[in-house]
């Protein structure tokens, strides 16, 4: 197991042939005989590399419209034979089968093919590779005798090892390649499984989360923790492009994810200023620069060192305002060239673009006792569907403010209370164990920012179990409130609103965020 092996025969069967001719030539130069399946054989031959076709070995050409090419004992016995096993060697000799020492294979691009969501099942099935995964699994299983290769990235360093060793591949390299091969086949099967689950029960008896490494991070939430960023097909990753600044940290990514989620629920030219996963301030006015300045008013102290998300093109006026505050990250769909030039004067400021704001239908959370999976909280955000339960009805301007407050409340850690006017947030109370404390905290934030709550509106992410929370809000001069309703004491809470001449809406939807 610990010995190096010399590559006498290598089989190539590749959908993506990028760089394979360089690797195949490196093998051939070291005396390796190259075998290849149909399309790969033609490609390598066109590159002046001598190739023996698989069909010449098996005695059969491609069958069943291409479904069967390499599935044959003369291929699989050559891959799976343990070179140190006398019985295996005798079986090969009696059957006239030669050993295969290296497999270079990648698969039909199933995931890319079905990514647009418009493919018929019958077409998708034809993009499920059978021979490739079978050969790769066989070679990875038998890595004590065979080299499994599954990506063009591996060609370069393997070529270097071949050159340095005179045609040998080490046991250490084979173990590394086997790990990568099984990860590749696992991810491929998971993508197929997930495709079938999309057309059935997403909460099925088993669910595969495929994760591909994007990069290692400097550290995690704290410097003593390691961290890595992965992508996943299930999560339909939003592409972030870093235009300026240091690499992103673990905490930056968390805040950026929260910011993008809020931007999705904001109108055009909306702005969110975010810190530690909670919004400090939000606004959606006519101009982006107006929205930023209004959002900043909510909590200018907490906005120091924040992440700022913008739903519009950043112009020089907005960039000038942004440059006046110390910020960790700014993310927007696009920027004027002059805006980037100005903001880039701050070398450490991370300036990013995002390509879209859609999100996966499901989210996952890892725990010590298992993994939770749930549908995204995407319903019940339009207050046009809410029920007015008080004697007083909200005015048009109050409805504008209530709509913003209700959409923001969804993104605030529970218990959540958000005060707003029609221009933006006035105070945000997040993450308190008591709804009364959240109400008081939001009022304190407004007071510290010299913002007037009288005549404003409020939103609560969950119902009021007693009237005391509503009484606290009423004392601040709030004149309209939106909440889910559904408490056994709803009538008591409605009575409190009527006593204070407040308008109140019930949405029927709770928006806890834990």
**Sequence-separated (6 or more) residues with CB below 8 Å from residue 256:** 240, 248, 307, 309, 329, 331, 352
**Sequence-separated (6 or more) residues with CB below 8 Å from residue 352:** 240, 241, 242, 243, 256, 329, 330, 331, 332
Determine whether 276 is an active site residue. Answer: yes
Please tell me which residue in 88, 119, 276, 346 is annotated as part of the active site. Answer: 276
- Whether the ω angle into residue 514 lies within 30 degrees of 0, i.e. cis, is no
Strand 102-105 and strand 9-13: the pairing is: parallel
H or E segment at 19?
A: none
Determine whether 275 is an active site residue. Answer: no
Please tell me which residue in 141, 176, 267, 346 is annotated as part of the active site. Answer: 141
Question: What residues form DSSP beta bridges with 364?
Answer: 373
The phi-psi region of residue 503 (left if phi > 0; otherwise alpha if psi is between -120 and 50; otherwise beta) is beta
DSSP states along 225-249: S-EEEEE-GGG-PPPEEEEESSPPP
Question: Any long-range contacts for 443-448 (C-beta under 8 Å, 24+ apart)?
Answer: 443/419, 443/472, 443/476, 445/298, 445/299, 446/298, 446/419, 446/476, 448/299, 448/301
CA distance 395 to 14: 65
Taking CA atoms, 372 is separated from 52, 123, 252, 299, 366, in Å, by 51, 33, 23, 34, 6
H or E segment at 476?
A: none
CA distance 204 to 187: 18
CA distance 266 to 260: 10
CA distance 267 to 382: 12
- The vertex-473 CA angle with 472 and 475, nearest 5°, equals 70
The phi-psi region of residue 431 (left if phi > 0; otherwise alpha if psi is between -120 and 50; otherwise beta) is left
Q: Which residues are catalytic?
A: 141, 276
């Amino acid at each position: 197991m610990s010995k190096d092996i010399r590559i006498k025969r290598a089989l190539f069967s590749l959908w993506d042939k990028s760089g394979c001719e360089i690797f195949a030539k490196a093998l051939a130069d070291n005396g390796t005989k190259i075998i290849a399946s149909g399309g790969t054989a033609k490609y390598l031959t066109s590159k002046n590399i001598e190739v023996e076709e698989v069909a010449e070995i098996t005695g059969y050409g491609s069958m069943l419209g291409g479904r069967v090419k390499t599935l044959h004992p003369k291929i699989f016995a050559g891959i799976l034979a343990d070179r140190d096993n006398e019985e295996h060697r005798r079986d090969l000799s009696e059957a006239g089968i030669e050993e295969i020492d290296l497999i270079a294979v990648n698969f039909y691009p199933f995931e890319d093919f079905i990514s647009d969501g418009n493919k018929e099942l019958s077409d998708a099935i034809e993009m499920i590779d059978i021979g490739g995964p079978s050969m790769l699994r066989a070679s990875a299983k038998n890595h004590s005798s065979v080299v499994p290769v599954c990506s063009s990235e591996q060609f370069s360093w393997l070529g270097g090892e071949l050159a340095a060793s005179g045609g040998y591949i080490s046991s250490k390299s084979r173990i590394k390649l086997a790990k990568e091969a099984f990860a590749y086949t696992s991810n491929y099967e998971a993508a197929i499984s997930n495709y079938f689950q999309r057309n059935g029960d997403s909460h099925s008896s088993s669910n595969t989360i495929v994760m591909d490494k994007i990069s290692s991070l400097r550290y995690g939430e704290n410097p003593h923790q390691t961290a890595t960023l992965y992508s996943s097909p299930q999560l339909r990753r939003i592409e972030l492009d870093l235009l300026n600044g240091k690499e992103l940290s673990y905490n930056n990514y968390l805040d950026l994810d929260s910011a993008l989620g809020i931007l999705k629920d904001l109108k055009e030219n909306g702005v969110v200023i975010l810190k530690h996963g909670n919004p400090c301030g939000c606004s959606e006015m006519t101009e982006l620069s107006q929205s930023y300045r209004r959002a900043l008013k909510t909590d200018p102290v907490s906005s120091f060192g924040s992440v700022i998300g913008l739903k519009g093109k950043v112009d020089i006026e907005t960039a000038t305002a942004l440059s006046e505050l110390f910020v960790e990250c700014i993310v927007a769909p696009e920027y004027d060239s002059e805006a980037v030039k100005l903001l880039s004067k701050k070398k450490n400021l991370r300036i990013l673009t995002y390509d879209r704001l859609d999100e996966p239908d499901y989210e996952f959370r890892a725990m010590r006792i298992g993994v939770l999976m749930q549908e995204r909280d995407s319903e019940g955000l339009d207050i046009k569907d809410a029920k007015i339960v008080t004697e007083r009805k909200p005015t048009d301007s109050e409805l504008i403010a209530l709509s913003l407050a209700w959409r923001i409340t969804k993104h605030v850690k529970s218990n959540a209370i958000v005060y707003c006017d029609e221009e933006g947030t006035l105070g945000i109370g997040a993450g308190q164990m008591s709804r009364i404390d959240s109400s008081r905290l939001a009022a304190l934030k407004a007071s510290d920012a010299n913002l007037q709550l009288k005549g404003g509106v409020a939103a609560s992410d969950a119902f009021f179990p007693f009237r005391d929370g509503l009484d606290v809000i009423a004392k601040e001069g709030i004149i309209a409130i939106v909440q889910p309703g559904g408490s056994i004491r709803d009538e008591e809470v409605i009575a409190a609103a009527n006593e204070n001449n407040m308008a109140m809406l019930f949405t029927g939807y709770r928006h806890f965020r834990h």
